[in-house]
Structure 1
């Protein structure tokens, strides 16, 4: 029977291979990028399951919705709203998970922490609003949700400055950066180099969140 260390090595190696193949595909091999993208979250959840004794149902569910978000966004315009909805559910679950780590909630501090996230979101919406059309409301809802994820993880880190809380916060911020690049690329200024930057930041964000969850679940 495989021991825990061997599982971690095998699952981490599989994830790394999938990431390398996908990034290589993004550099000019579209079919490789297309077929490896769904395996990003599959391999990441295997990393998580291989490193924990008892899986967090909500985290696995968030990765599940992220997987469907990746799949829907493979088809771009045709299923963009489906991809957006899938990632919206994933972020709601990430917020739930992060909020449960908070020892206490100071509303005044939470409001203060939220200010830069609100300013950034308003600035982004103002930048892309002319191209949004009927997508204005869904994008605003999505923006509020992921900004809330960032604010909750920052509040969590400020309450307890551990390495895993820092990973969770950085994961949320880098996820925001990835999603903002998607918005700019789709609704403001499409550029080819955004594609690989979006995926690299997305992969790093999801991996950091996974690392944080592994440590937190191990400490329970």
Structure 2
């Protein structure tokens, strides 16, 4: 009961930090950004744990490490203005996070349920993400320079993560499925905005859009997973 109350408090704490983070970008409050951005993932991690009504499982552990590596990515990208190496470090952190989320989703499925997709359904599942990844890489390719390989690997990993969310269909409750898929799509959108802003054309208020979609992505993924864990009992 105490954990439920703590989770509710942490929900408001996370929302407050998220608003402060977006405000720091809107008004150019760098000092605030240095405080709020590194707090987002740790608060979300504790919220995930406190909101669980079931014992720790493998999917949860993988999601925890996905949040940890997301935190590394967040912090590294704060220092891109100092050296481009921080972009690669951030990309690496998020690449690991995407792989961890994929396996977390794989284990966040009920034993019962239909896991037999028809060949046509496989095509329908894969095609949108394949078209997106190829289209984005095609657009950015001339400006990627030495980052062609790491960006291609990352685009493949985040598409795989989203597919992992889609393939939970019929193997979890509807709320969990919808929220995790929505979060995965928002994650792709956020990272696409980063790539477009950095390699293709600088965007007005880019940091607000990037962080806004990113925060919503992580929030929906974590809440969706939590609904699966709690919904099983």
Scaled by the length of structure 2, what TM-score is found? 0.88
RMSD of equivalent CA atoms: 1.8
Report the Cα distance in structure 2 between the residues aligned to 1:171 and 1:184, rounded to whole angstroms: 20
- Name the structure 1 match of 2:229: 217
- Name the one with the larger helix percent: 1
- Name the structure 2 match of 1:148: 160
Does 108-117 or 184-193 show the bigger shift?
108-117
- Name the structure 1 match of 2:69: 65
- Name the structure 2 match of 1:30: 30
C-alpha offsets along residues 146-174 of structure 1, whole Å, 9 cap, x if unaligned? 11111221232366561111000000001
Q: Superposition pairs for residues 1-220 of structure 1, below 5 Å?
A: 3-28=2-27, 29-53=29-53, 54-55=55-56, 56-76=60-80, 77-102=84-109, 103=113, 104=115, 106=117, 108=119, 109-157=121-169, 162-220=174-232
Equivalenced residue count is 219
Q: Cα distance, 1:24 vs. partner?
A: 1.1
Q: Does the aligned pair in 2 maintain the 1:62–1:91 contact within 8 Å?
A: yes
Q: Cα distance, 1:211 vs. partner?
A: 0.5
Report the Cα distance in structure 2 between the residues aligned to 1:11 and 1:50, rounded to whole angstroms: 9
Q: Does the aligned pair in 1 maintain the 2:190–2:211 contact within 8 Å?
A: yes
Structure 1 spans left out of the alignment, 5+ residues: none
Q: Cα distance, 1:112 vs. partner?
A: 3.6
Does 178-187 or 22-31 show the bigger shift?
22-31
Q: Does the aligned pair in 1 maintain the 2:175–2:227 contact within 8 Å?
A: no
